[in-house]
């Protein structure tokens, strides 16, 4: 398996040295062959993909192609697609085909990408390991016994293993950045409201944001130019022009200020992981950026805050799955009440049920003020912490996760341990900020990520910092060996 960036493939497609059909066939072979053991895909739409690839090749031949025309792509199975089922990793939606396309899907298709399949995920994006999927866990290409992270674990594993050059993801509390870090790829979560949520099955509406899993920040920028923008069908999407992200990628970091929140370097952070992140920050410093320590005093409250806000919203968002109109329905229920109960009992997995119950509890009469309202107030404080920092610095830098990839099954019995894996990513969602995870080295042979966080609508700066970093380092080129161990022979990577 070889991995190539969108930027490289785009050049080859444009100059005719490769055909979209070849790329798509290569992806399909990889997915059905060596990729099988990863369980990264819930569904593959080979036939439609080949038709779309041929159409892309026609456009390329006619000279009417854009930079993304003919690029094979995978969508997380949370994005509604008309050509193939959208399951959200749940029995509740097994075989469900949406009557419409998500806006992000439609825009990327419009830009010419070729959908080859839908990737595995934690059920309704609730999880940090892709183990809550009804369709079984996804393996980490670096070590099949380990989790690729989650919830966008299928997309991360597929890109890391070279099954597709890029994939979409959604990030509610770290679901793009954490799996990107744990699989050694680039995961970008834009500012809340930058990419339309229409057609993205809702988990926690005020936190959900679509983004990308790619090999490089440059690829993320290319995809964002197609995906981002106001959508009249999403009231929370923001009506402001989409910058040409790729134009700003090489902007010099000289004189820019990098804030390092001291709360990111707490006792929970693996010392080797910390070392890799500090080395990465030194690389930014080497590019002329000034590094200053900052503080996010309320960040420690982000996990408990998140685990009130997100379940509250999900408990309501998932009420529509009642067996009446679509999706799983218990057959032979005696009455309405048992239809609801049995349908939801069978259709949802344990983690989803746990969050629905938590959410219903924190919203219920007598508890609302103590939990939900209080959490909203703390959320405000966390946002203000970030705002204060961005008055002083251009970007924040820190680890994406406390440790490299954990073993499958290691945390499934202890939800709190699982939740704590998102301790560095969740605050970003609560504040609605853009963030990226880029590979910054290995710990015990497993990749870890550097997280860069920008101010509201500072997506351009985030991509710029990440790209400059990737111009100076090779970590993002390091790929897992087919056997599941890093192929160090081919990749004399490391900070340069």
Partner 1 sequence: MSWETVIGLEIHAQLATRSKIFSGASTAYGAEPNTQACAVDLGYPGVLPVLNAEAVRLAVRFGLAIGATVAGRSVFARKNYFYPDLPKGYQISQYELPIVLGGNIHIVLDDGTEKDIAVTRAHLEEDAGKSVHENFDGESGIDLNRAGTPLLEIVSEPEMSSAAEAVAYMRTVHQLVRYLGICDGNMQEGSFRCDANVSVRPAGEQQLGTRTELKNLNSFRFVERAINYEIERQIDVLEDGGSVVQETRLYDSDRHETRPMRSKEEANDYRYFPDPDLLPVVIEKEYIETERAKLPELPEARRQRFIHSLGLGVEDASLLTGSRATADYYEALIASVGGEYKLAANWVNGELAAALNRDGIGIADAAGSPERLAGLLVRIIDGTISGKIAKEVFEAIWQGEGEADDIIEARGLRQISDTGKLEKIVAAVLADNPDQVEQYRSGKHKVLGFLVGQVMKATGGKANPGQVNQLLKQKL
Among positions 6, 88, 113, 182, the unique one binding partner 1 when judged by CB under 8 A? 88
Return the C-alpha torsion angle 243, 248, 252, 258, nearest 10. Answer: 50
User: CB 340 → partner 1: shortest distance, Å?
Assistant: 6
185 sits near partner 1 (criterion: CB under 8 A): no
Q: Which residues contact 384 (CB under 8 A, 6 or more apart)?
A: none
Nearer to partner 1, 86 or 186 (CB): 86
User: CB 351 → partner 1: shortest distance, Å?
Assistant: 18
- Give the range of 96-104, 174-182, 278-286, 425-433 binding partner 1 by CB under 8 A: 96-104
Catalytic residue among 98, 151, 237, 437: 151
Nearer to partner 1, 102 or 176 (CB): 102
DSSP category for residue 40? -
Q: Which residue has the tokens 């609508």?
A: 457
360 sits near partner 1 (criterion: CB under 8 A): yes
Q: What gap in Å lies between CA 89 and CA 152, rounded to an integer?
A: 11
User: CB 225 → partner 1: shortest distance, Å?
Assistant: 23
User: What's phi and psi for 58, nearest 5 deg?
Assistant: -60, -45
Catalytic: 341?
no
The beta strand positions in 278-382, using DSSP E, are 290-294
Among residues 134, 84, 93, the alpha carbon closest in space to that of 320 is found at 93
Among residues 183, 176, 201, the alpha carbon closest in space to that of 462 is found at 176
User: CB 132 → partner 1: shortest distance, Å?
Assistant: 17
Catalytic: 10?
no
Among positions 5, 69, 86, 421, the unique one binding partner 1 when judged by CB under 8 A? 86
- Could you tell me whether strands 186-189 and 72-76 are parallel, antiparallel, or unpaired per DSSP bridges? unpaired
345 sits near partner 1 (criterion: CB under 8 A): no
Among residues 372, 318, 302, 339, the alpha carbon closest in space to that of 78 is found at 318
Nearer to partner 1, 364 or 496 (CB): 364
Whole-angstrom CA distances from 118 to 74, 85, 127, 417 are 6, 8, 18, 28
- Paired strand residues for 212: 168, 188
Among positions 10, 69, 98, 429, the unique one binding partner 1 when judged by CB under 8 A? 98
- The angle, 0 to 180 degrees and rounded to 10, between the axes of the packed helices 103-110 and 217-227 is 100
The binding track of 195-234 with respect to partner 1, each residue x by CB under 8 A or -, is --xxxxxx-xxx-------------------------xxx
Among positions 248, 287, 326, 495, the unique one binding partner 1 when judged by CB under 8 A? 326
Catalytic: 175?
yes
For binding to partner 1 (CB under 8 A), which residues are involved?
79-80, 86, 88, 93, 96, 98-100, 102, 197-202, 204-206, 232-236, 312-313, 315-316, 318-322, 324-327, 336, 340, 360, 363-365, 368, 372
């Amino acid at each position: 398996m070889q991995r190539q960036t969108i930027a490289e493939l785009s050049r080859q497609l444009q100059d005719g040295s490769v055909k979209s059909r070849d790329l798509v066939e290569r992806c399909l072979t990889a997915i059905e062959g060596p990729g099988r053991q990863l369980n990264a895909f819930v569904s593959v739409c080979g036939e439609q993909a080949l038709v779309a690839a041929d159409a892309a090749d026609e456009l390329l031949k006619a000279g009417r192609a854009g930079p993304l025309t003919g690029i094979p792509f995978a969508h997380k199975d949370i994005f509604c697609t008309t050509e193939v089922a959208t399951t959200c990793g749940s029995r509740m939606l097994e075989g469900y085909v949406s009557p419409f396309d998500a806006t992000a899907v439609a825009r990327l298709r419009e830009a010419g990408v070729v959908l080859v399949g839908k990737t595995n995920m934690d059920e309704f994006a609730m999880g940090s390991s892709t183990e809550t999927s009804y369709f079984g866990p996804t393996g980490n290409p670096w070590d099949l016994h380990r989790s690729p992270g989650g919830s966008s674990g299928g997309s991360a594993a597929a890109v890391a293993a070279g099954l597709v050059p890029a994939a979409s993801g959604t990030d509610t509390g770290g679901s793009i950045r954490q799996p990107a870090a744990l699989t050694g790829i680039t995961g970008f979560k834009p500012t809340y409201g930058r990419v339309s949520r229409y057609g993205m099955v809702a988990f926690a509406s005020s936190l959900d944001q679509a983004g990308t899993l790619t090999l490089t920040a440059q690829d993320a920028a290319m995809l964002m130019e197609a995906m981002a923008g106001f959508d009249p069908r999403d009231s929370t999407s923001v009506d402001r022009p989409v910058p040409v992200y790729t134009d700003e990628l090489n902007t010099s970091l000289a004189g820019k200020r990098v804030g390092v929140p001291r709360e990111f370097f707490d006792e929970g952070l693996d010392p080797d992981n910390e070392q890799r992140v500090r080395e990465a920050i030194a690389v930014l410093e080497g590019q002329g950026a000034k590094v200053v320590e900052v503080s996010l005093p309320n960040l420690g409250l982000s996990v408990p805050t998140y685990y009130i806000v997100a379940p509250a919203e999900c408990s309501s968002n998932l009420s529509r799955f009642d067996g009446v109109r679509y999706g799983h329905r218990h057959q032979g229920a005696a009455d309405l009440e048992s239809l609801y109960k049995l349908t939801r009992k069978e259709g949802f997995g344990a983690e989803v049920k746990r969050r629905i119950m938590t959410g219903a509890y924190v919203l219920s009469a007598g508890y609302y003020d103590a939990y939900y309202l209080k959490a909203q107030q703390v959320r405000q404080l966390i946002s203000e912490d970030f705002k204060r920092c961005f008055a002083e610095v251009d970007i924040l830098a820190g680890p994406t996760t406390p440790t490299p990839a954990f073993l499958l099954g290691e945390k499934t019995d202890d939800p709190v341990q699982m939740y704590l894996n998102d301790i560095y990513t969740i605050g970003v969602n609560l504040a609605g900020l853009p963030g990226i995870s880029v590979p910054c080295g290995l710990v015990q042979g497993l990749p870890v990520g550097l997280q860069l966080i920008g101010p509201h609508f500072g997506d351009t700066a985030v991509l710029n910092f990440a790209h400059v970093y990737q111009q100076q380092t090779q970590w993002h080129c390091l790929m897992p060996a087919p056997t599941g161990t890093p192929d160090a022979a081919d990749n004399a990577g490391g900070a340069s």
